[in-house]
Amino acid sequence: MSGVVVFVGAGPGAADLITLRGLRRLAQADVVLFDSLTDPALRRFAPQATWIDVGKRGFCHATGQAATNALLVRHARQHTCVVRLKGGDPSVFGRLEEELAALAQAGIGCEVVPGITAATAAAADTQRPLTRRGRGRSVTLTTAMTHEGQITVNGPRSDTEVYYMAGRQLAALGRRLQAAGWPADTPVCVVSRAGWPDSLSSDHPLHGLAGAACLHAGRPTVVTVGAGATATAPATGTGFVARAAVADALASRAVAPAT
């Protein structure tokens, strides 16, 4: 009899962005196949499990998809519970379809636990809602890179578009978006390491998107274009400072003696 595979979305950043259901499944795991961008702090919730790195990073050495599929099937046949721990949400640019298909072909049962994706984490970090009443009614999530490593964009299809895996392609992405019909002065917000305490954000007109390359170099990056990229109120400081102040206030409340 085979075990089951549970796909768990770990969120895009710090360990505490995982869901309660995800933590419960992780605690039941015999084996965890994890992505490279998942927080290592999650290991403490499954100390009994064998952890196997099957991470994929752009332009770096990565575990091939066929090898990952084979590992899932093999360990599910040997153990009761295998957790496939994916960064962000498993259903958003997580190659979930290929892994579900491999398990279905092998007759292995599975479950998918959703997670926070980078687009929503970036919106939270910058306090810029992806949808806006009256002017931001639609959102498109797009990968900046095709399977063949090419940048492919279309003309404006939504009020807000979010491009994943764009960190090394910012200049080219800006040129392609303008060529596809986006106005040169379209607001753009770039966020790297969304969901982490050290996330960074910067604002640019579309024609100046290349200027973000140095600031976000070497960091997982998402690019929000259009209505969702605009600030909701005059800036009073960086988002990082604001988040730190909130965290300090809540920490003080948590340690205050009960009355």
Q: How far is CA 192 from the centre of its chain?
A: 10
CA–CA distance, 165 with 141 (Å, rounded to integer):
11
Q: Which of 1, 35, 125, 145 is catalytic?
A: 35
Mark whether 145 is an active-site residue. Answer: no
Mark whether 35 is an active-site residue. Answer: yes
Q: Which of 39, 86, 125, 165 is catalytic?
A: 165
Which two three-digit tokens encode residue 186?
């379209």
Mark whether 1 is an active-site residue. Answer: no
Q: How far apart are the first and last CA of the chain?
A: 55
Q: Which of 53, 56, 125, 185 is catalytic?
A: 56
**Whether 22 contacts 113, CB under 8 Å:** yes
- Choose among 64, 77, 165, 157: nearest CA to 118: 165
Catalytic residues: 35, 56, 165
